[in-house]
Amino acid sequence: MISFATVQYDDLKKIVDLNQQDDESKFDEWFNFDYSLSDEEIKFLKDLISVNKFYLSSYTEDELKAYLIIPLLNKVSFWLKDKHGWFGRPLVATINNELIGGLVDFMVAKGEENPVSPYFFIQEFKKEGKSSHPKNQLLAEMLVATHLNKNNLIRGAYVIGRNWNFVIFEKIDKNSYQYFISESFDCLSFKGLTQIYTNLQAIKLVYCND
């Protein structure tokens, strides 16, 4: 099985026709979501920066998750009528005779005891030398999700230290896929963290309800 934890970009290219496209306008609707921060949310985001800014560069993956990512996700609160957030759950599929899967860092999906029909993924950084780039892991998860969901588009993000990149992944036809990577957002700047938080709220309020 090709594992999410060690997948390389060339592994994905051997399974399907996969290409990155350069079109920042692809994110316009998502990133221009009209969301007004409350005073309490502004304080939360400023406090999150203050707590993490001197330590984030030395965090392990678990520390990054515990001190920054999970508090942020809990603040967004991905608890919806028929879907919520899941951590460390398995996802697997056979695509073009290749078994690909593994544990997902975070996804928003339907389900009560087990996740089904993922809507959104977050893949955080890895420090182990043999691990693949989080972008490749995210793309592998998105490929599996579109195959299982039988849909044509899914959104996600990968996190490397202080930097967040958002990704749109699209199925073009039976065996062809394309993806778009956004600019990086610095979670230790208030402007960057505000945009990250707004993007996540858009996932919750718009794209998980379509």
Q: How many domains does the chain have?
A: 1
Which pLDDT belongs to residue 127? Answer: 57
Closest CA to 89 of 75, 108, 71, 76: 108
| Helix orientation angle between 39-52 and 190-202, rounded to the nearest 10 degrees | 120
Does the predicted model carry a pTM greater than 0.75?
yes
Half-sphere exposure of residue 62: CA atoms within 13 angstroms, side-chain side: 0
Q: What pLDDT, in 10s, does the model give residues 169-180?
A: 999 998 999 999
Asked if 104 contacts 90 with a C-beta cutoff of 8 angstroms, the reply is yes
Angle at 166 between CA 163 and CA 172, to 5 degrees: 150
pLDDT band at 104 (very low <50, low <70, confident <90, very high): very high
What phi and psi, each to the nearest 5 degrees, are found at residue 115?
Answer: -75, 140
> Which pLDDT does position 24 carry in this prediction?
92
Domain at 39, CATH number: 3.90.1570
> Which residue, among 194, 209, 210, has the nearest Cα to 31 in the 3D structure?
194
Interval 57-63 mean pLDDT: 91
Give the pLDDT score at 169: 98
CA 120/CA 85 separation, integer angstroms: 9
Domain boundaries, position 124 = 2-207
Mean pLDDT, the chain, whole residue set? 94
For 121, residues 6+ apart whose C-beta sits below 8 A from its C-beta are 104, 105, 106, 107, 138, 141, 142, 145, 154, 155, 156, 157
**pLDDT at residue 133 in the model:** 87
Indicate if the alpha-carbon torsion angle 106, 124, 70, 45 is positive or negative.
negative
Q: Supply the pLDDT for residue 85.
A: 96
